[in-house]
Chains A and B, each alone.
Chain A
Amino acid sequence: MRRLLLAPSLIFSVALTAASIAAAPTLVGKDAPDFVLKAMDGSNLRMSEFRGQVVLVNFWARWAGDSRQEMPALDRINTTYQRAGLVVLGVSVDEDLERAREFAGAMKVSYPIMFDTGANVGRDYLLQKMPMTILVDRAGVVRYSNVGFKRGDERAYLDHIRELLRE
């Protein structure tokens, strides 16, 4: 009896979550908010300085399991398309800077990792769930947004990246 009651409530909650994610506001079609953050190497990077290039911004957190899968995939994309004009930026939203640094160091990715400890950038980019990846075109407009990560998403990233690089 309990199982019978649990099943519909589970389905309902999953549907509700999916609907809330689908209905959540996104920045697609709008100008990417500018930000400046400190990177792992101590330099400061400003989003608007990459105008003219296709930018992939990946918001991640060490406690988000999907980030562990997504970061190596993004690293491969960065290695392949960097020369074609793609910039990959990783933005950590972890509050604990030291642990985020350790995690980023262990992942050994080739693209710059920055730290949004104040969560200001995440707020500007309407973060809903971790990880979140957005693609910004050469004119600085958000063209694609993906919440979460599952296997196969990197193929969708590649399709969009190729399209944006051709523009």
Chain B
Amino acid sequence: MNFKHRVVSIIARAALLAYAGAALAAPQAPAAAAASAAAAAAPAPAPAAVPAIAPPADAPGAPPGDFKTLDQEVQGLKKDVIDLNKDLFVLQEELLFPANTQVALYVSMDVGAFFALNSVTIKIDNKVVTNYLYTAREADALLKGGVQQVYLGNLKVGKHELVAFFTGKGPIERDYKRGATISFEKGVGAKYLELKITDHVAKHQPEFSIKDWE
């Protein structure tokens, strides 16, 4: 599916969901009217129609099985909202950070016996792009193998320089600030760089490096 079709599909689904949600929120409205309104509003590429709305639970003579139907419809709508939200997020990322200019920076930590991470400041071409403070939980998550996307942005094609400053507690609980630098070439595709913090066992010191994921 190309980009234009995806946008149309997302808009159509959003419209359908809005009508279906409104119909569910006002169950006293006749079911046929809600369904026809939704069908009329739905653009061509959208799925057929909203399922018929069950009568209100407290309506006289409503069969008990309709509670289940209504609940299933609500659950279905919730799932559709989550799916739609995910698609919107992906679309937004693609619009804001097209692959040809995208640069993504990740932070990872291995062992961490000689360094307790407190913050990371990143400069690209001498301009601060992010300054991230880590809580104890976040630092712990990194130690457990988590990889954090610390920055996502756009860069022009060409040569660039990245400088990362790490602050925290070093060996013997001493305040520690170290930097790592990398010069990289931004090509046509997306660029992924990983800021790695590892332990240098022989030196009893932390090591900071930047890996360029080709």
Interface residues, chain A, CB within 8 Å of chain B?
Answer: 36-38, 42-46, 49
> Which of the segments B3-11, B38-46, B130-138, B200-208 contacts the partner chain?
B130-138
Query: By CB atoms of chain A within 10 A, which of B133, B136, B137 has the most?
Result: B133
Smallest CB separation, B117 vs chain A (Å): 10
B119 at interface, CB cutoff 8 A:
yes
Report the tally of A-B residue pairs with Cβ distances under 8 A.
19
Q: Contacts of B138 on A, CB cut-off 8 Å?
A: 46
**B154 contacts the other chain (Cβ, under 8 Å)?**
no
B180 to chain A, nearest CB (A): 21
B148 within 8 A of A: no
SS of B interface (majority): mixed
- B118 sits at the interface (CB 8 A): yes
A37 near B133: Cβ-Cβ < 8 Å: yes
Chain B residues within 8 Å of chain A by Cβ, number: 8
State the Cβ distance, B107 to closest chain A Cβ, in Å: 14
The one of B118, B119, B137 in contact with A49, judged by C-beta atoms closer than 8 angstroms, is B137
Chain B 99-141 interface 0/1 with A at a Cβ cutoff of 8 Å (1 = within)? 0000000000000000000110000000000000111111000
Q: Given the complex, which residues of B lie within 8 Å of A49, measured CB to CB? A: 135, 137
Cβ of A39 to closest chain B Cβ, rounded Å:
10
Q: Shortest Cβ distance from A34 into chain B, in angstroms?
A: 11
Select from chain B the residue with minimum beta-carbon distance to A35.
Answer: B133
19 pairs from A and B in contact (CB 8 Å cutoff)? A36-B133, A36-B135, A37-B133, A38-B133, A42-B118, A43-B135, A43-B136, A44-B118, A44-B119, A44-B133, A44-B134, A44-B135, A44-B136, A45-B135, A46-B135, A46-B137, A46-B138, A49-B135, A49-B137
Q: Which residues of B contact A43 (CB under 8 A)?
A: 135-136
CB distance from A119 to the nearest CB of B (A): 15
How many angstroms between the C-alpha atoms of A37 and B118 in the bound complex? 11
Give every chain B residue within 8 A of A44 (Cβ-Cβ): 118-119, 133-136
Write out the residue numbers on chain B whose beta carbons fall within 8 Å of the beta carbon of A37: 133
List the A side residues contacting B136 at CB < 8 Å.
43-44
**CA–CA, A42 and B161, complex, Å:** 30
10 closest Cβ contacts across the A-B interface?
A44-B133, A36-B133, A46-B135, A44-B135, A49-B137, A49-B135, A44-B134, A43-B136, A45-B135, A38-B133
Give chain B residues whose Cβ lies under 8 Å from the Cβ of A45. Answer: 135
Closest chain A residue, CB of each to CB of B134:
A44
Closest Cβ of chain B: how far from A35's Cβ, in Å? 10
Chain A residue nearest to B169 (CB atoms) is: A42
Q: How far is the CA of A46 from the CA of B138 in the complex (A)?
A: 10
Assembly CA distance A24 to B53 (angstroms): 42
A36 to chain B: which residues have CB within 8 Å? 133, 135
In the complex, A44 Cα to B119 Cα: how many Å? 9
Q: In the complex, what distance in Å separates the CA atom of A45 from the CA atom of B137?
A: 10
Shortest distance from the beta carbon of A47 to any chain B beta carbon, whole Å: 10
Nearest CB in chain B to that of A37: its residue:
B133
By beta carbon, the residue of chain B nearest A38 is B133
Closest to A45 in B: B135
User: A49 CA to B118 CA in the complex, in Å?
Assistant: 16
Closest to B139 in A: A44
Query: How far is A49 from B139 in the complex, measured between Cα atoms in Å?
Result: 13
Chain B 24-54, CB-CB to A under 8 Å as 1, else 0, gives 0000000000000000000000000000000
